[in-house]
């Protein structure tokens, strides 16, 4: 069981604070690190992977600090964001060299296995300089997996991947997470994080804005109204009835249905059934409009 | 035409008018682009606009270069004479300072653009192919010129501050002018060679390395060939000295620094230089100067005329 | 190629350094040295001790330092510059292993491109394997080692390693070393010349340091710079991306 624990970690460069007092725990499973560009996701990953020293606070990975701790890499795999990699080596040579650096007992077999996992067996004898961006990403993941680490850190892993490769990588990460490994990946693309991870950590301007299950996060934000879309037999009638309820802050007739903004999610969901029955209106569908990570993210960024 | 937010018209898509306006004002043309490029390149060759670290080398070399001028000016103020000649200055110091400056800064001008593949951006503007290297060269020549001439001017000002009258001032001025002209030759030739070598590589490290190797290697070699060729080396000039051997007189051709000096002596310069007076071989030095300059310019032109610049 | 951690690092370094057009740049000073020597031999100059001047001053003041500079800054500097060193460092390999392996590759390559050409040029110039040739060979071997340690350290400390190394060579060794005798005690060129002179005993080499001083200082500088390099590499940081 490998956990990453941060306690009041800050990192600054002169006057610029890149990471501002972050406390969090990351456990087994897939966790997504979400945030806009420049929020500090890469900085955080570099801190966790031992390639940056915290200016303040304590950061431990599996119980020990990651800074100046090369032995940690026996249990940690890192897929950095920069696309540079030894272009003059073939894919196989690169992964095998990494295996040897990890002092694995059978480096060649471990390398073959890792290359197989990322489905790069066909291209492994070509030089990495001839690879496309997505292929380079995959070979980097193979190198990060060759020593079977319990911890995997990936910085924007889906950059430059086509949809098929992205799907495959997501399946791979999900499978690894299900095996009990701790997987942390960063992204500023909401769909990736939404689809892959249950737990997210949202970083905005160096601060931890939210962590946990994104639906749960959503529900915590009672200061913002929840938005629902209703399909009924008489939108206008239900609309005028709803506006009388204190749990509802807004009602709008749109071409797609009746859009209702509810400030109190619980009260609204309790009232809607009774209301429709009393008004004699048939409720055909009740859809949450902003359940997706997109609206969570947008609210957080705007705040 | 704005569509109602959220409603999809039956036909498909719609383009929203969000107020984008075309620029209909005056567009400055090619001369303005060239001027801007020269100004911007000049600034970056001395490290302005790039942060403190980029200024370290330019500032250090400039200070080092000015030291003899300042020291001599102080000595003159205390009653001494101007010991440093205008047309050769302190030759060895100039050589080393310029090697460092050019090796460090020429890559800043051209290698960065090559590495980050921005040349297509430049050339999709009304800029002709050769405008770019010409602008860069102009800027770099100006930077080297400042590095060479400002110490000379400091020396001059320090000397005439203690001058005894208009005739003394005029004498100093007459001595200064050739020095400034020779300095111009230095700047033009060395800047051209430096930029040409730097343009061969997008990696600043290799560019710096090649420039350093070329200048330093040829400089030391010229000095050695001079000594071996039977020249008087760099010791004090003795009265009634025999003209140096042919080998020594030709030794300067291998290095651009000594080539310029050979031209200087051929054109009548009398101050001591690193190589003995070329005598009959003077025209050779002139030819070599032109060859080196033409070669550097040709290399620059060829480099940037290539169709594929990404 | 080689196995084991050090071997893997060395193998990658060797392939990275010798690949591409860079290798041409290494060989250039050496080729010029041999060419000039051969040409001078044909030209029969009057000065009898020209071999020591060319091979000593040109070889040890230009060929050796510049070749060592290019090689020494690229064995580690290139990887740090483009970020691919992360793949090396994100493994349990000891940082000292990384530094020593890269330093060793650099030193051996430099020896190949300086000591061997020196002895070839010396043989051409003097007609045989004289004491001068032997001295120059050993001096170049020592210089390769010491220079590489210094330049590997510089490439860990700064991204502008070649410019800084050039400043050291031109300002410290060339300029100050010729005028300020105190600077010679910290000049790698003087260590190499001192060691060469102890075998060749040729005053034209202009060696200012005795062999004991040269060896002791050379060893101190080598060890000191490598230790410093290891410490800095252990604290290697990736800058967070601003995008």
pLDDT of the residue at B280: 80
Nearest residue in chain A measured CA to CA from B7: A255
**Residue scoring higher pLDDT (C208 or B239):** C208
pLDDT of the residue at A211: 84
Residues in B closer than 8 angstroms to C43, CB to CB, are 247
Residues in A closer than 8 angstroms to C235, CB to CB, are 53, 68
B55-100 pLDDT per residue, tens: 888 998 999 999 999 988 888 888 777 788 888 888 888 999 999 9
- Segment A80-100 mean pLDDT: 89
Separation of CA B22 from chain center: 41
Say yes or no to pLDDT of C243 above 70: no
pLDDT of the residue at A294: 56
The two three-digit tokens of residue C107, written as one number: 């030193």
Say yes or no to pLDDT of B308 above 80: no
Integer Cα distance of C129 and B54 in angstroms:
48
Residue C182 per-residue DSSP state: G
pLDDT of the residue at A220: 63
Helix and strand totals (H; E) in chain C:
12, 0
A-contacting chains (≥3 CB pairs under 8 Å): B, C
Integer Cα distance of C147 and C145 in angstroms:
6
Q: b/e for B109-120, b at 16 or more Cβ within 10 A?
A: bbbebbeeeebe
Integer Cα distance of B196 and B107 in angstroms:
10
- How far does the CA of residue C110 sit from the closest CA of chain A (Å)? 22
Confidence band (pLDDT; 50, 70, 90) for B2? very low
Query: In which region does residue A292 sit, left (phi positive, over 0), alpha (psi from -120 to 50) or beta (all else)?
Result: beta
pLDDT of the residue at B234: 46
Tell me which of A116-130, A226-240, C92-106, C163-177 is least confident. C163-177
- Segment C190-217 mean pLDDT: 85
Alpha-carbon distances of B65 from B44, B100, C23, C41, rounded to whole Å: 20, 12, 34, 38
Separation of CA B197 from chain center: 12
Residue C26 is inside which H or E element, if any?
Answer: helix C22-43
Integer Cα distance of B281 and B253 in angstroms:
10
Say yes or no to pLDDT of A300 above 70: no
Q: Are A254 and B8 a contacting pair at CB < 8 A?
A: no
pLDDT of the residue at B11: 62
Tell me which of B1-10, B14-23, C177-186 is least confident. B1-10
pLDDT of the residue at A263: 78
3-state SS string over chain A? Answer: CCCEEEEEEEEEECCEEEEEEEEEEECCEEEEEECCCCCCHHHHHHHHCCCCCCCEEEEEECCEECCCCHHHHHCEEEECCCCCCCCCCEHHHHHHHHHHHCCCCCHHHHHHHHHHHCCCCCCCCCEHHHCCHHHHHHHHHHHHHCCCCCEEEEECCCCCCCHHHHHHHHHHHHHHHHCCCEEEEEECCHHHHHHHCCEEEEEECCEEEEEEEHHHHHHHCCCCCEEEEEEECCHHHHHHHHCCCCCEEEEEEECCEEEEEECCHHHHHHHHHHHHHHHCCCEEEEEECCCCHHHHHHHHHHC
- How far does the CA of residue B259 sit from the closest CA of chain C (Å)? 19
Tell me which of B232-246, C25-39, C55-69 is least confident. B232-246
The angle at the Cα of A146, spanning A142 to A149, to the nearest 5 degrees, equals 110
Separation of CA A204 from chain center: 14
Q: What phi, psi does A2 have (nearest 5°)?
A: -115, 120
Confidence band (pLDDT; 50, 70, 90) for B214? very high
- Segment B254-264 mean pLDDT: 91
The two three-digit tokens of residue B101, written as one number: 């400056």
pLDDT of the residue at C21: 67
- How far does the CA of residue A283 sit from the closest CA of chain B (Å)? 22
Say yes or no to pLDDT of C2 above 70: no
Mean residue pLDDT across chain C: 86
Nearest Cα neighbor of B216 from C196, C159, C182, C64 is C64
Using CB atoms and an 8 Å cut-off, which of residues 145-204 of chain A contact chain C?
A: none
- How far does the CA of residue A254 sit from the closest CA of chain B (Å)? 7
Q: Are A70 and C91 a contacting pair at CB < 8 A?
A: yes
- Segment B114-122 mean pLDDT: 85
Mean residue pLDDT across chain B: 84
pTM of the model: 0.81
CB C202 within 8 A of CB B127: no
Q: Are A102 and C91 a contacting pair at CB < 8 A?
A: yes
Nearest Cα neighbor of C140 from C27, C38, C219, C63 is C63
The two three-digit tokens of residue B134, written as one number: 């010409």
Strand A199-204 to A64-65 pairing: unpaired
Residue C133 is inside which H or E element, if any?
Answer: helix C131-157
Q: Which residue has the tokens 């390395």?
A: B209
- Segment B8-17 mean pLDDT: 66
Residue B17's contacts (CB-CB under 8 Å, 6 or more residues apart) are B1, B2
Say yes or no to pLDDT of B288 above 50: yes
Residue C127 per-residue DSSP state: S
Using CB atoms and an 8 Å cut-off, which of residues 255-284 of chain A contact chain B?
A: 255-256
Residues in A closer than 8 angstroms to C82, CB to CB, are 82, 84
**Residue scoring higher pLDDT (A111 or B126):** A111
Residue C237 per-residue DSSP state: -
Count of all residues that appear for chain C in the document: 243
pLDDT of the residue at C131: 84
What is the interface pTM, i.e. ipTM, of the complex? 0.86
A142-178 pLDDT per residue, tens: 999 999 999 999 999 887 788 888 888 889 999 999 9
pLDDT over 90, % of chain A: 40
Say yes or no to pLDDT of A291 above 60: no
Its sign, for the CA torsion C142, C144, C149, C153, is positive
Mean residue pLDDT across chain A: 86
Most confident of B12-16, B153-157, B184-188, C187-191: B184-188
Q: b/e for C18-47, b at 16 or more Cβ within 10 A?
A: eeeebeebbebbbebbbebbeebbeeebeb
A253-280 pLDDT per residue, tens: 888 888 888 877 778 888 888 888 888 8
- Segment C176-192 mean pLDDT: 81
Q: Which residue has the tokens 């098929």?
A: A164
- Segment B50-58 mean pLDDT: 84
CB pairs under 8 A between B and C: 88
Tell me which of A66-70, A125-129, C37-41 is least confident. C37-41
Confidence band (pLDDT; 50, 70, 90) for A60? very high
B-contacting chains (≥3 CB pairs under 8 Å): A, C
CB A50 within 8 A of CB A75: no
Residues in C closer than 8 angstroms to A78, CB to CB, are 86, 90
Alpha-carbon distances of B76 from A104, B85, B151, B152, B161, rounded to whole Å: 74, 13, 15, 15, 9
C60-92 pLDDT per residue, tens: 888 999 999 999 998 998 888 888 899 999 999
- How far does the CA of residue A250 sit from the closest CA of chain B (Å)? 17
**Residue scoring higher pLDDT (B264 or B240):** B264
Say yes or no to pLDDT of B215 above 50: yes
Alpha-carbon distances of B105 from A105, A155, B18, B115, rounded to whole Å: 50, 35, 45, 15
Give the count of alpha carbons within 13 A of A103, CB side only.
11
CA gyration radius, chain C: 19
pLDDT over 90, % of chain B: 36
CB B193 within 8 A of CB B206: no
B-interface mutation test, from C40, C161, C166, most B Cβ less than 10 A away: C166
Instruction: List the domain boundaries for chain B.
Output: 10-309
Say yes or no to pLDDT of C93 above 90: yes
Q: What phi, psi does C94 have (nearest 5°)?
A: -65, 140
Question: Any chain B CB within 8 A of the CB of C45?
Answer: yes
Residues in B closer than 8 angstroms to A258, CB to CB, are none
Give the count of alpha carbons within 13 A of A88, CB side only.
11
Say yes or no to pLDDT of A101 above 70: yes
Confidence band (pLDDT; 50, 70, 90) for C220? very high
């Amino acid at each position: 069981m490998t956990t990453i624990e941060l306690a009041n970690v800050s990192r600054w460069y002169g006057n610029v604070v890149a990471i501002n007092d972050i406390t969090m725990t990351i456990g087994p499973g897939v966790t997504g690190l979400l945030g806009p560009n420049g929020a500090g996701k890469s900085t955080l990953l570099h801190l966790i992977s031992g390639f940056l020293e915290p200016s303040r606070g304590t950061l431990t990975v599996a119980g020990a600090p990651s800074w100046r701790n090369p032995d940690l890499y026996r249990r940690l795999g890192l897929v950095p964001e920069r696309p540079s990699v030894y272009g003059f080596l073939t894919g196989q040579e690169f992964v095998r060299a990494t295996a040897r650096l990890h002092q694995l007992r059978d480096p060649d077999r471990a390398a073959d296995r890792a290359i197989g996992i990322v489905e790069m067996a066909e291209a492994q004898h070509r030089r990495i300089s001839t690879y496309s961006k997505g292929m380079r990403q995959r070979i980097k993941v193979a190198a990060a997996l060759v020593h079977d680490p319990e911890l995997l850190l990936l910085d924007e892993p889906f950059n430059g991947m086509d949809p098929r490769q992205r799907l495959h990588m997501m399946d791979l990460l999900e499978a690894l997470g299900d095996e009990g490994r701790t997987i942390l990946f960063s992204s500023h693309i909401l769909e990736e994080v939404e689809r892959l991870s249950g737990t997210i950590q949202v970083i905005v301007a160096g601060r931890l804005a939210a962590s946990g299950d994104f639906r749960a996060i959503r529900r915590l934000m009672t200061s913002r109204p929840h938005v629902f879309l209703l399909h009924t037999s008489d939108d206008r009638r239900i609309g005028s009835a709803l506006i009388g309820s204190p749990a509802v802050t807004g009602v709008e007739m749109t071409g797609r249905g009746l859009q209702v903004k509810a400030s109190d999610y619980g009260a609204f969901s309790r009232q809607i059934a009774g209301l429709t029955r009393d008004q004699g209106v048939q409720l055909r569908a009740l859809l949450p409009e902003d359940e997706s990570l997109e609206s969570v993210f947008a609210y957080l960024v705007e705040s | 035409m704005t569509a109602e937010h959220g409603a999809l018209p039956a036909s498909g898509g719609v383009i929203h008018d969000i107020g984008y306006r075309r620029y209909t004002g005056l567009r400055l043309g090619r001369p303005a682009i060239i001027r801007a490029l020269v100004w911007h390149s000049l600034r970056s060759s001395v490290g302005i606009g790039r942060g403190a670290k980029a200024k370290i080398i330019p500032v250090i070399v400039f200070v080092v270069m000015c030291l003899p001028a300042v020291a001599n000016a102080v000595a003159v103020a205390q009653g001494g004479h101007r010991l440093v000649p205008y047309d050769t200055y302190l030759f060895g110091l100039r050589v080393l300072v310029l090697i460092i400056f050019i090796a460090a800064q020429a890559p800043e001008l051209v290698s960065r653009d090559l590495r980050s593949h921005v040349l297509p951006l430049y050339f999709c503007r009304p800029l002709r192919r050769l405008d770019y290297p010409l602008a860069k060269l102009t800027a770099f020549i100006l930077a080297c010129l400042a590095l060479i001439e400002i110490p000379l001017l400091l020396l001059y000002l320090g000397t005439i501050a203690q001058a005894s009258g208009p005739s003394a001032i005029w004498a100093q001025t007459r001595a200064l002018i050739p020095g400034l002209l020779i300095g111009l030759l230095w700047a033009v030739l060395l800047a051209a060679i430096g930029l040409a070598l730097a343009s061969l590589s997008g990696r600043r490290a290799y560019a710096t390395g090649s420039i350093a190797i070329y200048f330093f290697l040829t400089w030391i070699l010229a000095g050695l060939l001079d000594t071996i060729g039977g020249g008087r080396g760099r010791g004090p000039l003795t009265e009634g000295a025999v003209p140096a051997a042919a080998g020594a007189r030709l030794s300067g051709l291998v290095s651009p620094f000594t080539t310029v000096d050979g031209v200087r002596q051929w054109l009548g310069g009398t101050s001591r230089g690193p190589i003995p007076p070329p005598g009959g071989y003077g025209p050779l030095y002139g030819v070599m100067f032109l060859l080196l300059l033409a070669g550097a310019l040709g290399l620059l032109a060829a480099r940037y005329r290539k169709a594929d610049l990404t | 190629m080689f196995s084991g951690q050090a071997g893997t690092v060395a193998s990658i370094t060797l392939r990275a350094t010798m690949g591409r057009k860079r290798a041409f740049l290494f060989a250039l000073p050496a080729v010029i040295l041999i060419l000039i020597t051969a040409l001078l031999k044909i030209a029969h100059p009057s000065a009898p001790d020209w071999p020591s001047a060319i091979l000593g001053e040109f070889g040890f003041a230009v060929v050796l330092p510049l070749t060592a500079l290019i090689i020494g800054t690229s064995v580690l500097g290139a990887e740090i510059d483009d970020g691919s060193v992360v793949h090396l460092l994100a493994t349990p390999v000891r940082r000292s292993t990384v530094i020593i392996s890269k330093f060793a590759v650099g030193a051996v390559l430099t020896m190949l491109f300086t000591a061997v050409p020196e002895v070839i040029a010396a043989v051409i110039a003097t007609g045989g394997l004289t004491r001068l040739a032997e001295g120059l060979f050993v001096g170049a071997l020592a210089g390769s080692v010491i220079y590489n340690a210094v330049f590997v350290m510089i490439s860990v400390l700064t991204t502008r390693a070649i410019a800084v190394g050039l400043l050291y060579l031109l300002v410290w060794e060339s300029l100050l070393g010729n005028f300020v005798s105190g600077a010679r005690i910290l000049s790698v060129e003087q260590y190499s010349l001192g060691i060469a002179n102890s075998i060749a005993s040729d005053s034209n080499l202009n060696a200012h340091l005795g062999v004991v001083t040269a060896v002791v200082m050379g060893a101190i500088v080598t060890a000191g710079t490598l230790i410093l390099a290891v410490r800095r590499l252990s604290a290697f940081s990736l800058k967070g991306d601003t995008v």
